[in-house]
Amino acid sequence: MHRNKKVILASQIIDGTGRKPLEESAILVEDSIIVEVANKSEIFQIVKDQEYDLLDYTGFVLIPGMVDCHTHHNGFGDGRLGDDVSEISDEILTLKSSSNARVALFSGITTIRENGPKNMTMFRLRDAIKSGIEIGPRMNLCGRPVCVIGGHMGYFGGEVTGVFEATRFVRSLIKEGADYIKITQTGGTTRTSFPLLPAFNIDELSAITNEAKKFGKLTATHCVSTEGTINSLDTGVDMVIHAVFKEPDGTDKFRPNIAERLAEAQVYVNPTLHVFRARAWEMERLALKRALSKNEIKLLDSHRRNFDQRLIDCSKMMEMGVKVITGSDSSWGDYKIGNTIHETECIYMAGYSASQSFHSVTLGAAKALDMDNIVGSLEVGKKADMVVVEGNPLEEIGNLRNIHEVIFDGNIIDRGSKDSNKVYIQSAPSNN
Amino acid sequence: MSNSSYDFTLIKAGLLVDGNGGNNLQKASVLLKDGLIKGIGNQESVLAPEGASVKVLDYGDKTILPGLIDCHVHLNGIGDGRVGNDLVTLPDEVLTLQSAKNARAHLYSGVTTIRDCGAKNNTTFMLRKAVEMGISPSPRLILTGRPISIVGGHLGYFGEEATGEVECVKSVRRLIKQGADFIKITATGGSTVTSLPYRPSFTKQEIQSITGEAHKMGKHVAAHCTSSVGINNALDSGVDTIIHGYHFDSDGTFNYRPEITEKFIEKGVFLNPTIYQGRKTIKVLESKQDQGTLTQMERENLETSRYRSEKVAEIVSKMVSEGVKLACGSDASWSYYKTGDFQSEISAHVSVGLSPIEAIVSATKDSAKSCWIDDKVGTLSENKIADILVVDGDPTKDINNLRNVVDVISNGELVDRGNLI
């Protein structure tokens, strides 16, 4: 059978494994799989007398397709709350999800972990992609997040009570096609929830994590206060999202022993730093247009302090050896999908080196999703998901935004017009 | 791409075809403001007021004409040959995604208004909401939501079966409440497995209850008809557009009925003959035959399609020569006819005897008339909505020039046809 072969050249190849950028090298792709990464001359030796397409990105840098461990495809990123998003019909949310999926892909994100949509919307989108109706990145889905009655994201349809219901619901999600189980172990922005308090009792949370483990599925918990993180550690959760260190009375208090436990248990932390800053950015943008009210100034101040605190806490966790990965949380709150690199830059600001930050949005993220056997690096046997960027991201992490081409599953993605790809870009507020 | 930072947009082109069917205008200009056409004429006379800010779109020797109006589409359709019975097994969310994809393809191919002739549940209404929310680009949508059918009738699987006059009235009211702009009925069976294509479906009384209620509410009615008895029922009961209009008798033979032509003319009803649909099926099935992959069912389909297609061309030509007015509607993406190729149906109108300019009128002004929106769109004239198509070449000389789309302007805004988001 004729195989579709491609030889891909670039000035530098950063394969994502941590080794030095490769020069004078090339990648050979057969259909959707990387079959060789080697010196140019070796690759050309292999394909001589064969038919192949040459993709020459001389002048550019080739990197692995990026992985965002935390997206909300139902979201708009225009500041509206999840409570309001969930009022929208499933059909419309599926359409929005599909648009967000294309944006993610066009921005170089070839794998996403969706962190909680309404009802069946993301499963439906994935079905549509599988049947060729739509395009989108590889998807690691949870269906609905599991939560207590009135808990965070309960409006998406995943409220359960007690061990029995929790167990049954996990099975239902897996039947529907869930790749992992998302749990909201503290409240959040959801109006009826309590962000400073834990949600499930330990027996319920254990039931969920145990049932997920039984089927080989990972778990991730939303925790915006410390007790939730402790519960997660006690029940063997694989990833803690937000991992905010807050006491029940709302005071910020970093707990080194908890961070130590996170490091020891090798639990991934998805700190979602930029989503806190995004709110501040929007208010700063507003301040450029008109004077803020006293209340707004206070609010802006608290958003800034909150972001600074998160950054400090994240640095401490990094120092203690906690594994931190990029998960943008877009399009939640004010953070629009297509801007994942803001989060990676925050991780860099918190103290990871450029190379560690790069790892957090490629192989590190893939490992956190247990998908490193197929994506995350440019290695033989993996999926041919890659991004061509301008400028070396290991020298300047922001170069990850300079997308020149996206190759997904071995195919070049038509990203459409330049103008249309400007629409989703969010930048820091400035006078220009 | 927003033009809104300018007060006016001035469009210049070498040739203007206004959609009324009269003479073309050379070296023409159209002035737009707030999404409407505010001036039209030669380039010397049509100018923005002095001092106003103007965005100029100079198309040189290209041709401008009204945005195309496809009066018969199925947004839910995939166009890969699957029948409606299989299509409806897809969840509403997936059908809404497909609808958004088709809407985009219509718009980018030069179609600025579409009349959707039947979709499952609320999928098209949901698409419209999403378009209003700015999630998805789309042409102007004229929607029926679900077609009204008899129990087991054609398209009944979309969710609006009705029996008796009261239920028919109820269906009309329910659809209008949900946002229907017109009412589509299936007055005969069709490809739906449980329906009988050569037999009428609703009684005249039932159809009259539908047209009466729809007209009362200012909505028009279009009827799917693939049998002569069905056409007569619809024409006698106040239907405004006849779709397909196949003159089948109950034994499956296709026979011209002069009295139907007379009724069309007397009542001023539009015929949407969907000519290319059958030709496309033949094309696809013939290529399958060449590859030796034709199934028994497809072979039968090919034979009926050939017979029907030949008869349709013959009879529609006859009707046109007698003076029946055609409204151009593709029926895409039903069966094998994929969205984005409305131009093939317009060309098919030329093949049954319309001149290129008449075919353009059938796909602009007359299509707008059949959709009851000719006060807003369909021609390039003052105070109409600025839906404009720019093509390379003169389509009144060669209708295929309609395929050379240069730009599409919808509601006065230049459409970014490269926007895939």
Mutation target vs A (from B87, B407, B415, B421; most A CBs, 10 A cutoff): B421
CATH code of B317's domain: 3.20.20.140
Q: According to the model, what pLDDT value does residue A432 have?
A: 61
Which residue has 């909150």 as its token pair? A306
Q: What percent of chain B has pLDDT over 70?
A: 99
Q: Which two tokens stand for residue A23?
A: 């020069």
Q: pLDDT tens-digit profile of A126-142?
A: 999 999 999 999 999 99
Q: What is the mean pLDDT of residues B352-377?
A: 98
Examine the domain organization and report whether B55 and B91 are in the same domain. no
Nearest beta carbon to residue A124 from set B94, B123, B418: B94
Examine the domain organization and report whether B55 and B146 are in the same domain. no
Q: pLDDT tens-digit profile of B252-283?
A: 999 999 999 999 999 999 999 999 999 999 99
Residue B363 lies in a domain: no
> Residue B128: CB partners within 8 Å, gap ≥ 6?
B138, B141, B143, B179
Q: How far apart are the CA of A305 and the nearest CA of chain B, in angstroms?
A: 34
Between vectors from CA A329 to CA A324 and to CA A332, what angle results, nearest 5°?
160
Task: Determine how many CB atoms are found less than 10 A away from the CB of residue B299.
Answer: 12
Examine the domain organization and report whether B113 and B207 are in the same domain. yes
Q: The complex's ipTM?
A: 0.91
Q: pLDDT tens-digit profile of B73-113?
A: 999 999 999 989 999 999 999 999 999 999 999 999 999 99
Residue B361 lies in a domain: no
Residue B120 lies in a domain: yes
Q: How far apart are the CA of A168 and the nearest CA of chain B, in angstroms?
A: 24
Q: Do B133 and A92 touch (CB under 8 A)?
A: yes
Examine the domain organization and report whether B313 and B235 are in the same domain. yes
Nearest beta carbon to residue A128 from set B94, B417, B418: B94
Q: pLDDT tens-digit profile of B300-344?
A: 999 999 999 999 999 999 999 999 999 999 999 999 999 999 999
Check pLDDT > 70 for residue B1: no
Check pLDDT > 70 for residue A113: yes
Contacts of A133 in chain B (CB under 8 A): 78, 94, 97-98, 101
Examine the domain organization and report whether B179 and B101 are in the same domain. yes
Contacts of B101 in chain A (CB under 8 A): 133-134
Concatenating the DSSP letter of every residue in A245-292 gives: -B-TTS-B---HHHHHHHHHTT-EEE---HHHHHHHHHHHHHHHHSPP
pLDDT band at A431 (very low <50, low <70, confident <90, very high): confident
Contacts of B130 in chain A (CB under 8 A): 91-92, 95-96
Residue B420 lies in a domain: no
Q: Is the peptide bond before B333 cis (omega within 30 degrees of 0)?
A: yes
Check pLDDT > 80 for residue B375: yes
Examine the domain organization and report whether B399 and B282 are in the same domain. no
Q: According to the model, what pLDDT value does residue B210 have?
A: 98
- Average pLDDT, rounded, for chain B: 97
Q: According to the model, what pLDDT value does residue B4 have?
A: 61
Contacts of A419 in chain B (CB under 8 A): 1, 416, 418-419
> Within a 13 Å sphere around the CA of A427, how many CA atoms are in the beta-carbon half?
8
Examine the domain organization and report whether B53 and B130 are in the same domain. no
Q: Do B97 and A134 touch (CB under 8 A)?
A: yes
Examine the domain organization and report whether B200 and B262 are in the same domain. yes
Which of B316, B340, B364 is the last residue in one of the domains? B340
Residue B421's closest chain A neighbor by CA? A99
* B418 contacts chain A (CB < 8 A): yes
Contact B104, B138 (CB under 8 A): yes
Residue B27 lies in a domain: yes
Which of B290, B312, B340 is the last residue in one of the domains? B340
**B325 is in which domain, residue-wise?**
68-340
Task: Determine how many CB atoms are found less than 10 A away from the CB of residue B29.
Answer: 23
Q: Which two tokens stand for residue A341?
A: 């690199």
Q: What percent of chain A has pLDDT over 70?
A: 99
Nearest beta carbon to residue A124 from set B91, B100, B122: B91
Check pLDDT > 50 for residue B3: no
Q: Do B93 and A94 touch (CB under 8 A)?
A: yes
Residue A95's closest chain B neighbor by CA? B97
Q: pLDDT tens-digit profile of A167-187?
A: 999 999 999 999 999 999 999
Residue B355 lies in a domain: no
Examine the domain organization and report whether B21 and B112 are in the same domain. no
Name residues 105-124 of chain B within 8 A of A (Cβ): 122-123
CATH code of B384's domain: 2.30.40.10
pLDDT band at A40 (very low <50, low <70, confident <90, very high): very high
Mutation target vs B (from A80, A90, A95, A127; most B CBs, 10 A cutoff): A95
- CA gap A176, B275 in Å, rounded: 43
Residue B252 lies in a domain: yes
Q: What is the mean pLDDT of residues A201-207?
A: 98
Examine the domain organization and report whether B50 and B74 are in the same domain. no
Nearest beta carbon to residue B93 from set A124, A417, A423: A124
Dihedral of CA atoms B107, B113, B115, B118 in degrees, nearest 10, equals 30
Which of B340, B361, B391 is the last residue in one of the domains? B340
Examine the domain organization and report whether B202 and B145 are in the same domain. yes
Nearest beta carbon to residue A92 from set B78, B91, B126: B126
Nearest beta carbon to residue A133 from set B97, B122, B130: B97
Contacts of B127 in chain A (CB under 8 A): 91, 95
The pTM is what?
A: 0.94
Q: Which two tokens stand for residue B19?
A: 């959609």
> Residue B175: CB partners within 8 Å, gap ≥ 6?
B144, B145, B146, B148, B160, B183
Q: pLDDT tens-digit profile of A224-263?
A: 999 999 999 999 999 999 999 999 999 999 999 999 999 9
Q: Which two tokens stand for residue A109?
A: 């994100």
Examine the domain organization and report whether B128 and B143 are in the same domain. yes
Helix, coil or strand: residue B134 = coil
Nearest beta carbon to residue B96 from set A94, A106, A127: A94
Residue B179 lies in a domain: yes
Q: Alpha helices of A325-362 — where are they, by DSSP H? A: 341-350, 354-360
Q: Alpha helices of A177-273 — where are they, by DSSP H? A: 202-214, 226-234, 256-264
pLDDT band at B370 (very low <50, low <70, confident <90, very high): very high
Q: Do B420 and A102 touch (CB under 8 A)?
A: yes
Q: Which helix (H) or strand (E) holds B127?
A: helix B123-132
Q: Could you give phi then psi for residue A58, rounded to 5 degrees? A: -60, 135
Query: How many domains, in total, are found in chain B?
Result: 2
Name residues 307-336 of chain B within 8 A of A (Cβ): none
Mutation target vs A (from B3, B75, B93; most A CBs, 10 A cutoff): B93
Name which of B60, B141, B64, B75 is nearest B402 in CA terms.
Answer: B64
Task: Name the interface residues of A facing B (CB cutoff 8 Å).
Answer: 89-92, 94-96, 98-99, 102-103, 106, 120-121, 124-125, 127-128, 131, 133-134, 414-417, 419-421, 423-424
